[in-house]
A and B are shown apart, each in its own frame.
Chain A
């Protein structure tokens, strides 16, 4: 048994230490936002935030997570109360099939936590390793820029605080 902190809650997990975090999130804790895409760390759809930094959960074994805080998309906001990054993606209609979007959002969230006003080049560099086969890249870029603006406004402060690590 090991303890895993996800979205501010502690979970007792019965998993081998070499189990990828993604499997534990989806199969044991039933948090399904992080997606299984390639399982090889090549597509980005499994990205979650660990201690403020985006990591690929499909190639992050549990042994690396002792004492760390994991945040998944569920931890940022909900359907009724979306976080700024989620609101921005909805308002820009940045998803088509949507499979890559949770990973994109977590990467963008990690970027905005460190850099509240990223340049276009910085956004592109951060999202470079995330694949989207539908081709909504331009909308995704717009959504990240919109999220940066939303996070600056007062009404977004509540959700921003919750997402802060």
Chain B
């Protein structure tokens, strides 16, 4: 009798737990379909709103991921390598069948805010909604207006190659439960309006942390290591906090010039995935770039007296180059014959090369970026004056390039020698080839965006 009662109690307890658990799981995972709309005509949007959306899309760097080399703007298809497999960017043109043409503004806002598509499927956080969730409704409206007035392109999505169980989209709901913080940006009254504008853009649309903050094993940004440096497409996105390896510490003016022009005489030229970022930032309102620079300079903190001294020493070394050390003859010889003609002359940036005593790549914790840029160089931007560097992939083998990189490290940085440089070069040779074949973006930044459209 008592047995029956207790087993009945247990059974009903389990039933209640299953129902409650099921309901909770349902609530976490399930999202409704938002009804399809007929693609709005371009006339449905205010021109000023579209223009603002254009600038916001440039700050958000949307085209870098949503355009593939040789493809149409915003039609998607770029393979994004992740530790969990390859994810292909989606078509965000207003094509009804393969793009977002049937998405209402509410559906677009939900995608930005919650990472859910119109059909109610969870999106992979490769689409950085952990940042875009902070974008204001007003800005989402402008972005929507901009995207819905682009040329519709019929381009079906490519199948993602994700490992089980992460290929099951409901799993993403669990990820969101752990890592997605849906707070809107709260201004800090103690700071200036400019600072707050910068903070809003950096945390949200500009999604700087998506590359510059390291990720945990589940692919989420580590909250306690903000801007400590991250990985992106076989490039190292440099630390922007107090762990920065820039030989000369950054300040707001230098950051502003770099983000606006793509280069700075004390730091060098943007390349890799950052080239597209600065190319986009060169076309947005000046005040937004300045706001980002002011905010970033403030949160990375004033340099310590030691850092300042090191920075001055690096600048002094750049002005009066030291004698080449004889420790690595092959590396020194290659440098003298292949690099010094640009990197050790009085020819100023951006057309001359930065003195490598000032290069973050040479002082960086690993030689990936240096290997990437020596292999593939920096190509000119079509139709614009821009920095150029030839690539050396075809003239140096891995051993020779490793000798060069080790020499540069020893001569131009105060950091300990790298290890495994030859393997890094071999890996970079493979990865850089893929990156250059797929990424549509410019491989360097325009030297002077004000010259655009002028002969």
Contact = CB atoms under 8 A, between A and B. Distances in A.
Nearest to B397: A64
Contacts of A95: none
B394 A59 contact: no
Contacts of A135: none
B284 interface: no
B394 A61 contact: no
B151 interface: no
Contacts of A132: none
B388 A64 contact: no
Interface in B33-61: none
B333 A18 contact: yes
A21 to B, nearest CB: 9
Interface string A60-95: 111110000000000000000000000000000000
A17 B333 contact: yes
B337 A62 contact: yes
Contact of B334 (A50, A55, A63): A63
A19 B337 contact: yes
A56 interface: yes
Contact of A54 (B70, B339, B394): B394
A164 interface: no
Contacts of A121: 70
B390 A59 contact: yes
A118 interface: no
Given A40-B342, A55-B394, A61 B388 contact: no
A129 interface: yes
Interface string B366-393: 0000000000010110000000111010
Contact of A61 (B70, B338, B342, B377): B338
Interface residues of B, number: 22
Interface in B311-335: 330, 332-334
A105 B337 CA distance: 24
Contacts of B338: 59-61, 64
Nearest to A50: B395
A18 B337 contact: yes
Interface in A19-63: 19-20, 39-42, 50, 53-56, 58-63
B434 interface: no
Contacts of B395: 50, 55-56, 59-60, 64
Contacts of A120: none
Determine which residue in B337, B341, B377, B390 has the highest number of CB atoms from chain A within 10 A of its CB, and name it: B337
A57 to B, nearest CB: 9
Contacts, number: 60
B225 interface: no
Contacts of A63: 330, 333-334, 337, 400
B334 A42 contact: no
A128 interface: yes
A12 B452 CA distance: 50
B396 interface: yes
A56 B334 contact: no
For A39, A60, A121, the residue with the greatest tally of chain B CB atoms inside 10 Å of its CB is: A60
B389 A41 contact: yes
B333 A61 contact: yes
Contacts of A50: 394-395
Contacts of B333: 17-18, 61, 63
A129 B444 CA distance: 14
B337 A129 contact: no
A55 B339 CA distance: 15
A94 B48 CA distance: 48
A30 B396 CA distance: 25
Contacts of A42: 388, 390
A20 B390 CA distance: 15
A60 B341 contact: no
Interface string B321-361: 00000000010111011110110000000000000000000
Contacts of B388: 42, 129
B390 A56 contact: yes
B439 to A, nearest CB: 14
Interface of A: 17-20, 39-42, 50, 53-56, 58-64, 121, 128-129
Interface of B: 70, 330, 332-334, 336-339, 341-342, 377, 379-380, 388-390, 392, 394-396, 400
10 contacts: A20-B337, A50-B394, A50-B395, A56-B390, A58-B341, A61-B334, A61-B337, A63-B330, A63-B333, A129-B379
